[in-house]
Structure 1
Amino acid sequence: MPKVKSEKKFRNHKETSSSTAGAQQGIRFNKDFGQHILKNPLIVTSMIEKAALQPTDTVLEIGPGTGNMTIKLLEKVKKVVACEVDPRMVAELQKRVQGTHLQNKLEIRVGDVLKNDLPFFDVCVANMPYQISSPFVFKLLMHRPFFKCAILMFQREFALRLTAKPGEKLYCRLSLNTQLLARVDHIMKVGKNNFRPPPKVESSVVRIEPKNPPPPINYQEWDGLTRIAFNRKNKTLGAEFKSTNVLNLLEKNFKIHCSLNNKPIPDSFDMKTKIEEILSKNNFAEKRARTMDIDDFLQLLHDFNSEGIHFS
Structure 2
Amino acid sequence: MPKVKSSKTSRTHNEVQKQGIQFNKTFGQHILKNPLVIASMVDKAAVRQGDTVLEVGPGTGNMTVKLLERCKQVVACEVDPRMVAELQKRVQTTPFQSKLKILVGDVLSQDLPFFDLCVANLPYQISSPFVFKLLLHRPFFRCAVLMFQREFAQRLVAKPGDKLYCRLSVNTQLLARVDIIMKVGKNNFRPPPKVESSVIRLEPINPPPDINYKEWDGLLRVCFLRKNKTLSALFRLTSISEMLKNNYKVHCSLNNVQIEKDFNIKDKIEEVLTENNYGNKRARSLDIDDFLLLLCSFNKKGIHFS
Q: Which amino acid aligns with 1:212?
A: N
Give the match's secondary structure for 1:137. Answer: helix
Of 30, 37, 54, 1:36 maps to 30
Verify: 1:240 aligned to 2:212, yes or no.
Answer: no
Matched residues in 2 for 1:244 and 1:188: separation?
44
- Normalised to the residue count of structure 2, the TM-score between the two structures is 0.95
- Pairs within 5 Å for 1:62-211: 62-211=56-205
Verify: 1:270 aligned to 2:290, yes or no.
Answer: no
Q: Which has the larger radius of gyration?
A: 1
Relative CO higher for 1 or 2, CA cutoff 8 Å, sep ≥ 6? Answer: 2
Verify: 1:284 aligned to 2:278, yes or no.
Answer: yes
1:22 is displaced (CA, Å) by 2.4
Give the match's secondary structure for 1:177. Answer: helix
Which aligned segments of 4 or more residues in structure 1 are displaced greater than 4 angstroms? none
Kept in 1, the 8 Å contact 2:9–2:33? The answer is no
1:277 is displaced (CA, Å) by 1.0
The one-character-per-residue Cα deviations of 1:51-108 (angstroms, maximum 9, x if unpaired) are 0010000000000000000001000000000000111111111111100111111011
1:16 is displaced (CA, Å) by 3.6
Kept in 1, the 8 Å contact 2:9–2:34? The answer is no
Matched residues in 2 for 1:16 and 1:203: separation?
19
Matched residues in 2 for 1:172 and 1:275: separation?
23
The one-character-per-residue Cα deviations of 1:139-159 (angstroms, maximum 9, x if unpaired) are 111111100000000011111
Give the match's secondary structure for 1:204. Answer: strand
Matched residues in 1 for 2:132 and 2:8: separation?
37
Give the match's secondary structure for 2:178. Answer: strand
Q: Which amino acid aligns with 1:159?
A: A
Give the match's secondary structure for 2:262. Answer: coil
User: How many residues in Structure 1 have an aligned counterpart in Structure 2?
Assistant: 298
Verify: 1:213 aligned to 2:243, yes or no.
Answer: no
Kept in 1, the 8 Å contact 2:175–2:209? The answer is yes
1:17 is displaced (CA, Å) by 5.9
RMSD: 1.2
Matched residues in 1 for 2:96 and 2:254: separation?
58
1:18 is displaced (CA, Å) by 3.2
The one-character-per-residue Cα deviations of 1:145-200 (angstroms, maximum 9, x if unpaired) are 10000000001111111111110000000111111111111011100000000001
Of 10, 13, 16, 1:18 maps to 10
Matched residues in 2 for 1:285 and 1:166: separation?
17
1:120 is displaced (CA, Å) by 0.8
- Normalised to the residue count of structure 1, the TM-score between the two structures is 0.93
1:204 is displaced (CA, Å) by 0.5
CA pair 194-304 structure 1, distance change in 2 beyond 3 A: same
Runs of at least 5 residues in structure 1 that lack an aligned partner in the other structure: 1-14
1:24 is displaced (CA, Å) by 5.0
Matched residues in 2 for 1:83 and 1:103: separation?
16
Kept in 1, the 8 Å contact 2:229–2:282? The answer is yes
